[in-house]
Structure 1
C-alpha cells in the first residue's frame, strides 16, 4: 500500500503560470486513471477538481439511496490484477459510501493525491496558436500553461438547477440530488417533495419513503423499471468473482454495453412465443439490467419486438402496482422499453402503497412555481412542503464542457459550436481544438450507453497512447481532421437513425434541455465495435488526425 499523501489545495492566486505537460480536469473514474497513465509516461501532469476529494460522480451524488446499477465486480479498473483483487465489495450493487471508499483506495494505492489539486474549478481554457499550448484559468485566479488538456468531467456532472421560478423564495430546505450535503438530512415528521422519477429520483423515493412524515412525488414522465436483486457478498463470493479477473478483462471491453453479459439469445424471429417468454422471465429474475442489455437487441430497432418486450415489462409493473390510477401515472405507454435510460428499483413501486406517500401527476398540470411554502401547479393547486428534493437531471454529455469557456483555433467557442450542432471525432477530440482530448463526451459510448468504467478506461488508454505516439516522434500538436470528424458524425447518425431511441424524447437525445441540438449523445454501435474502430485508427498511425 502506498503512503497516503496530503492533497493539493488551490492557491488563491499565482503570478507565474503553472507549467505542465498535461492538465486533467476531474478526479473521478476517468481522471484518476488518466493521471496514472500520463504519470507512467514521465509527464508532468496535474488533475484539478472542484470537489474536496476524489470520486467524481461518487463524490457529488451522495443522496439517499445512491448506489451502483452495474454489478460491483465489473464496475472496476481492469488494468491491474493486484488493484482489482485488493478490494472486496460487500454486495452486488453497493451504495455510495462504499463506492467512494473504493475510489479513495484507488487514489491511495496508486499514490495519486500528490498530483491532484482539489477545491479548484477550471473556468476557462484557451488554445494559444503561437505556442501550441493551452492557457487554463481557475476560479481562484490561478493560471496553468499546459501542452495537453484532457477533460474527464463526467457525462452527468452538470446538474439542471434553477428550473422553476421562485426557488429562492422557498422557506424550507432545497436539495438537488447531484449536490447533496455530506451532513445527514433529518426527514422525520417532514413534508417532503421529490421532483423527478428518473434513476436518481427512484433511488431517493424508495429510500426515504418510510422515514418522512409525508412524501409527495411529482411525476411527469413515467419510467419502465426493472427489479434490483442485491445479495450480500460472502468471502466465498468475493473470491469467486476475483478468480474471474482474467476472463472478465478479456470479455467486458468487447460486449455491446461493457457489461459482463451480452446479447447471446439468438434472433427473436427464430424463437417460439413460449421460448421468448421464458428468456424474458429468466433475465427479469436476474434482478439486473440484463433484460435491457442482454435479452434481444431487436428491441432497439424493431417496433414489433419493442412492443412485445415493452408490454412484458408493463405487465410486471401492473402486477406490482395493482391500482389503475398508479398504473396510469407510472407505467409508460408512449415510448418503448429501453429507448430511455432504464432504472433498477427495489421498493419504488411499493412505496406508492404507503399511506404517507402521494403521487402528483404534473404531466398535464405542470409545476408553475416554487413558493415560500411549497410548490404551485399550473391550475393553482398548492402543495405545502418542508423539504424539496430536485431530481431534475443534467445537461448530459455537453454541459460539463460548455460551462467552461473553452476556445480553440481562431478563438472559436466550444459552447457556441455545440449550441448549434453537437459534433466530435469519436468522442475523444473536436476539430478546431488542438491538443484537447475528451472523455465521456458526445458520440462515444461513454456518453451514456456503457458500464462507465469500461468505456472510460478505454478512452483514457487511447488518449495516453496517442500522446505516447506523439512523444516518440517529437510531435507537438494533434488535431482531428474535419473530414474525418464529418465521417464519424455521419457514421454515428446512420446507426442512431436505425434505432427507436432517436424517435423518443429523453436526455439521451438532449430533449430535457431547452434549445439543445437534437442528436443521440451516445454512440449506439456497441462498446466492442467502438473499441475496435478506435484501435484501428491507432494502429493506422492515427489516420484522421493531423500532427505537427
Structure 2
C-alpha cells in the first residue's frame, strides 16, 4: 500500500493546478486519474465543435508569468484540441506527470479514524493511504445518459457527447439524431449538419444563446494582452464572475429605451456570457430580466426565417440566465438547411427506440447515429460516484441526501482531512471556473502547509459552520432569479435529485473575502486536532 501526504483525485485543470500548488508548499502529492490521459472534461468532450465559452486568455493558468508569455492561443475562444494541447504542455513544462497515476479510477475512499488517514482503492485494486484527500473531480463531468424503451435494439451507433470516441466519426451520408440542446448540442449541430445526409435535433427545452463572436487572434492582440496581463488578471479576480466584465453601474430601467437598446446591442455582439452584466440587475430583478430576455428573443428570432420553427427555437418558459445559456457559432442558421430538422419532444415525446431509429408519438425518425448531448449530473454527480466513507461509516451520498452541506464549499463535517476544489458551495459553475480552481488550489496548499507546521493531524469542518454557510448560499440565491427555473444549478434537471441551489451566487470577489477571513482567523469553521478524535476518545474511555 503506497502512501502520500495528499491524494488528488482527477487530473483535469483542477488536479494539475492543485499538484503544482502543493509542490510549491513542499507537500508531497499524487494524482489518481481514471483515464489513460490527463485533461479531465477536455479529454472526454471531443465532439465536433467543442469549444470553451470563456476567452482563451482568461481560460488559462495565472501562476507562471513565463507560461503566460510563451503560450500562443490561436483563437478568441479555444477549441477542445487546443485546450488539451495546453493542458499537456503545462504537465510537461512543469514536470507534473511524474506524480500522476493514469488508469486509476477511485472506487472507494474510507477514512481511518484511528490513524487519521484516508484509505483509497482504485478499480485496478491498487490501494493508497493519504493524510489528505483532495477531490478535483469537476463540476460537469458525470454525464447523464438516458435510457429509453427499445434502446438496446437500435441497429445504429449511440454516442455520448461527453464520452466521445477518440476515432474520427464520419457523418457523411448518415442520418444523425442529436438529443439535447444545451451547449454541447448547440455547438455540434452546425458542424455535423455540414456533412450529414440528414440531422434531427431533438429539443426538450429551447435555450438562450448568443453569438460566440469568435475570431483568430492577431499578433497585435496577443502582444497587447501579454503586455498588460497583470492588470487583466487583477480585473478578473475582482469581477463577479471571473470573466473580467464589471456590471454596468445603472439599472436596466433607469436609462432611456435608446440607451438600453444600444448597451444590449453592444454586449450581444461581443461579451458572450458577459451579456448578463450589461446592467447590474438582469439576474436580480424580474422586470429587468424580462427586458434582456425579450431583447435576446428578438435577436434569436431574427436568425430563424420560418415562423413556426421560430416559435419552437426561441425560449418561452424561463428568463435569460436562469438556466445556463450558450454561445454558438451558427446554431439557429443551421435550421435553414434542407437537411436539418427540429423534433420538439416536449410536444411530441420520445416513445421508444426501434432498430431503425427513434419513434416519437408523432412519427418514426430513421437514424444511423444517435448522439446523447444530454448534459451532466452537475456539481455533486462526480463527487458521489466513488463510495466515500467518513466517520462512523457514513457515506458522502448519505450525508448529502438532501443536498450538499459544506463549509465555504471547501469541506464537509464528518469527513475529516477531505477537501473539494471548485465544488458545491463555491462560485464554481457561476464563474470562470479556472479562476475558482486557482483560488482553491492555492488556498488549500497554504492551509495544509500551515497545519503541517502546527502539527495538526486532523482537521474537520464543523457542523455549525457548514450549516451557516449552506444557509448563506441559499440566502444569496434567493436574492437572484435562479430559483425561477429548473436547471443544473439547483438539481432540477436530474430526476430525484434534491432541489437545492448548489453554487455560490455572491460572486468571485465576495467569495474570496470569505476565504481570506477564514484563513486570517486560523481557519475558522474547522476543528483542528494534533491527535485524531478517535484516539482521544479511546484514551478518555481507557482512563475512565
Matched, 1:283 2:267: yes
On the 8 A contact 1:35/1:46 being kept in 2, the answer is: yes
The offset of 1:265, in angstroms, is 3.8
Aligned counterpart, 1:368: 351
Cα distance in 2, alignment partners of residues 368 and 450 from structure 1: 38
Aligned counterpart, 2:319: 336
The offset of 1:238, in angstroms, is 1.3
1:303 pairs with 278, 286, 294, which one? 286
Cα distance in 1, alignment partners of residues 299 and 105 from structure 2: 45
TM alignment of 1:22-171, pairs within 5 A: 22-171=6-155
On the 8 A contact 1:72/1:94 being kept in 2, the answer is: yes
On the 8 A contact 2:139/2:423 being kept in 1, the answer is: yes
On the 8 A contact 1:200/1:391 being kept in 2, the answer is: yes
2:186 pairs with 202, 215, 221, which one? 202
Kindly tell me the number of residue pairs found equivalent between the two proteins.
529
Aligned counterpart, 2:432: 451
Cα distance in 2, alignment partners of residues 368 and 241 from structure 1: 52
Cα distance in 2, alignment partners of residues 310 and 47 from structure 1: 43
Aligned counterpart, 1:354: 337
TM alignment of 1:181-220, pairs within 5 A: 181-220=165-204
Cα distance in 2, alignment partners of residues 34 and 124 from structure 1: 21
Deviations 1:488-530 (A, max 9, x none): 0111111101211112111111111111001112110111111
Deviations 1:458-489 (A, max 9, x none): 01111111101101101111100110111101
Aligned counterpart, 1:400: 382
Task: Give the TM-score normalised by structure 1.
Answer: 0.95
Of residues 152-161 and 167-176 in structure 1, the stretch that sits farther from structure 2 once superposed is 167-176
The offset of 1:432, in angstroms, is 0.8
TM alignment of 1:244-259, pairs within 5 A: 244-259=228-243
- 1:120 match: secondary structure: coil
Cα distance in 2, alignment partners of residues 105 and 452 from structure 1: 20
On the 8 A contact 2:305/2:336 being kept in 1, the answer is: no
On the 8 A contact 2:8/2:134 being kept in 1, the answer is: yes
Cα distance in 1, alignment partners of residues 518 and 230 from structure 2: 26
Aligned counterpart, 1:421: 403
On the 8 A contact 2:212/2:272 being kept in 1, the answer is: yes
On the 8 A contact 1:227/1:287 being kept in 2, the answer is: no
Cα distance in 1, alignment partners of residues 210 and 216 from structure 2: 19
Aligned counterpart, 2:370: 388
CA RMSD of aligned residues (A): 1.2
Cα distance in 1, alignment partners of residues 487 and 27 from structure 2: 40
Cα distance in 1, alignment partners of residues 57 and 247 from structure 2: 20
Cα distance in 2, alignment partners of residues 180 and 537 from structure 1: 41
Deviations 1:6-56 (A, max 9, x none): xxxxxxxxxxx1111110001111100101111222222110111222211
The offset of 1:287, in angstroms, is 5.2
On the 8 A contact 2:236/2:244 being kept in 1, the answer is: yes
Of residues 75-84 and 214-223 in structure 1, the stretch that sits farther from structure 2 once superposed is 75-84
TM alignment of 1:462-481, pairs within 5 A: 462-481=443-462
On the 8 A contact 2:9/2:136 being kept in 1, the answer is: yes
On the 8 A contact 1:153/1:440 being kept in 2, the answer is: no
Aligned counterpart, 1:12: none
Cα distance in 1, alignment partners of residues 227 and 305 from structure 2: 43
Cα distance in 2, alignment partners of residues 469 and 269 from structure 1: 49
On the 8 A contact 1:205/1:351 being kept in 2, the answer is: yes
Cα distance in 2, alignment partners of residues 358 and 138 from structure 1: 44
On the 8 A contact 2:490/2:502 being kept in 1, the answer is: yes
Aligned counterpart, 1:430: 412
On the 8 A contact 1:301/1:499 being kept in 2, the answer is: yes
Aligned counterpart, 2:306: 323
Cα distance in 1, alignment partners of residues 501 and 147 from structure 2: 23
Cα distance in 2, alignment partners of residues 439 and 326 from structure 1: 42
- 1:289 match: secondary structure: helix
Cα distance in 2, alignment partners of residues 478 and 129 from structure 1: 12
- 2:282 match: secondary structure: helix
1:314 pairs with 287, 297, 300, which one? 297
- 1:168 match: secondary structure: helix
Please identify runs of 4+ aligned residues in structure 1 that moved more than 6 A. none
Aligned counterpart, 1:10: none
TM alignment of 1:505-520, pairs within 5 A: 505-520=486-501
- 1:434 match: secondary structure: coil
Cα distance in 2, alignment partners of residues 36 and 492 from structure 1: 30
The offset of 1:269, in angstroms, is 3.8
Question: Which ranges in structure 1 are unaligned for 5 or more consecutive residues?
Answer: 1-16
Cα distance in 2, alignment partners of residues 440 and 397 from structure 1: 9
On the 8 A contact 2:253/2:288 being kept in 1, the answer is: no
Task: Give the TM-score normalised by structure 2.
Answer: 0.95
On the 8 A contact 1:120/1:140 being kept in 2, the answer is: yes
